[in-house]
């Protein structure tokens, strides 16, 4: 049984009384950095497991880490306690200062649980700052702690990715910069919406092919593309890797073409992955990888969600791509991912929100 969050509110680190009276200030620091409070010698033994769990490599096509670990001493707590992502890590049987600190901030019943249950991980949201995640990783011995980190690696990275997505969502979504008129047009014509930021423009709206393309910064060194494609009266047979590849390549061959019409976008062979996930309560195939031109010369990362909507009997494919050859693209593709997650069908929207959007057309 996974107990990653079971004891999230038993962490008894002392917080100032004022934090209970007033809203916490937002967490600070780099989005992809995790501050790790650890003894320097113990960290040498723990880093391989921590790095394997959290410093996963994605290819954009350059290798980039999902998160970057920064080890600091417990004496620096006051300086780093407002950072976005924090981990305290040490074995309980150690005499290190960080181990003493961990034993001091967990109660005896929780310590007993940690000693007998290898799955327990302590987590706390909004401890010292808003939208912050603090995790305590500990176990009776160094060996058991290393094993715990390896076993819980999926839960660890999932938790830090989700809180990061939440922070990014709040920074991206602003009603003042939302193109409600465009969203309302999609809702009225097609029965779905996706968040459209002020600097995105509609590049293609093809009702015959059930294809909509919005893009940001066309013909620049940092382009972002999103397309929504749907298949009416579809079957679940489309929800497999080969079909998704074929449909995506068909759409990009037709619509993602160079200005001279000689080149078009295809899925690159390298670093392609697919997995089944839950997307807004639906069984969904998540595919990620690299796109390239059939004539080579350009490329970048993409992320794609494909799912079946029972009420409309449609297969939906929502897809985000980045072209930014001069830049790191880890944060850019995360922005695409968070934007794709704003997709809603009409049936998922409240009547009030539908009315508010459609009023924008008047």
Indicate the pLDDT class of residue 21, thresholds 50, 70 and 90: low
Pairing of strands 299-309, 314-323: antiparallel
pTM: 0.89
Pairing of strands 265-267, 273-279: unpaired
pLDDT at 362: 77
pLDDT at 57: 96
Q: CB of 57 within 8 A of CB of 158?
A: no
Residue-wise pLDDT for 155-187, tens only, equals: 999 999 999 999 999 999 888 889 999 999 999
DSSP structure class, residue 323: E
pLDDT of 340 strictly over 60: yes
pLDDT of 293 strictly over 90: yes
The stretch 310-317 carries a mean pLDDT of 96
The stretch 42-68 carries a mean pLDDT of 97
What average pLDDT is seen over the chain?
Answer: 92
Q: CB of 27 within 8 A of CB of 19?
A: no
Q: What kind of fold does domain 18-171 have according to CATH?
A: Rossmann fold (3.40.50)
Residue-wise pLDDT for 186-239, tens only, equals: 999 999 999 999 999 999 999 999 999 999 988 888 999 999 999 999 989 899
The domain spans of the chain are 18-171, 175-359
Proportion of the chain above pLDDT 70, given as a percent:
94
Q: Is the domain defined by 175-359 classed in CATH 3.40.1000.10?
A: yes
The secondary element (H helix, E strand) that includes residue 205 is: strand 200-206
**Measured between alpha carbons, how far apart are the two ends of the chain, in Å?**
53
């Amino acid at each position: 049984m996974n107990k990653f969050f079971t004891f999230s509110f038993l962490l008894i680190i002392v917080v100032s009384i004022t934090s209970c009276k007033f809203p916490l200030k937002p967490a600070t620091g780099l989005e992809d950095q995790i501050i790790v409070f650890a003894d320097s010698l113990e960290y040498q033994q723990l880093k391989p497991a921590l790095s394997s769990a959290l410093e996963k490599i994605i290819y954009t096509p350059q290798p980039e880490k999902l998160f970057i670990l920064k080890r600091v001493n417990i004496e620096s707590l006051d300086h780093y306690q407002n950072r976005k992502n924090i981990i305290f890590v040490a074995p309980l049987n150690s005499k290190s200062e960080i181990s003493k600190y961990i034993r001091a901030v967990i109660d005896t019943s929780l310590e007993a649980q940690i000693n007998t249950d290898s799955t327990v991980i302590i987590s706390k949201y909004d401890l010292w700052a808003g939208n912050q995640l603090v995790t305590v990783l500990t176990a009776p011995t160094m060996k058991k702690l290393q094993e715990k980190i390896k076993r819980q690696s999926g839960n660890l990275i999932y938790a830090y990715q989700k809180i990061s997505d939440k922070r990014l969502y709040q920074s991206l979504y602003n009603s003042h910069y939302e193109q409600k008129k465009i969203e309302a047009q999609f809702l009225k014509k097609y029965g779905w919406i996706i968040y459209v930021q002020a600097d995105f423009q509609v590049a293609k709206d093809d009702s015959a092919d059930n294809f909509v393309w919005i893009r940001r910064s066309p013909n620049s060194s940092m382009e972002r593309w999103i397309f929504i494609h749907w298949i009416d009266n579809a079957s679940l047979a489309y929800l497999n890797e080969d079909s998704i590849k074929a449909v995506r390549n068909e759409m990009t061959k037709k619509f993602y073409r160079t200005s001279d019409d000689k080149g078009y976008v295809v899925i690159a062979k390298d670093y392609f992955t697919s997995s089944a996930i839950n997307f807004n309560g639906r069984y969904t195939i998540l595919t990620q990888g690299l796109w390239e031109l059939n004539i080579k010369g350009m490329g970048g990362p993409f992320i794609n969600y494909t799912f079946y909507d029972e009420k409309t009997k449609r297969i939906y494919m929502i897809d985000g791509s980045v072209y930014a050859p001069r830049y790191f693209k880890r944060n850019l593709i995360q922005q695409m991912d968070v934007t794709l997650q704003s997709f809603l069908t009409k049936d998922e929207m409240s009547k009030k929100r539908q009315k508010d959007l459609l009023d924008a057309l008047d």
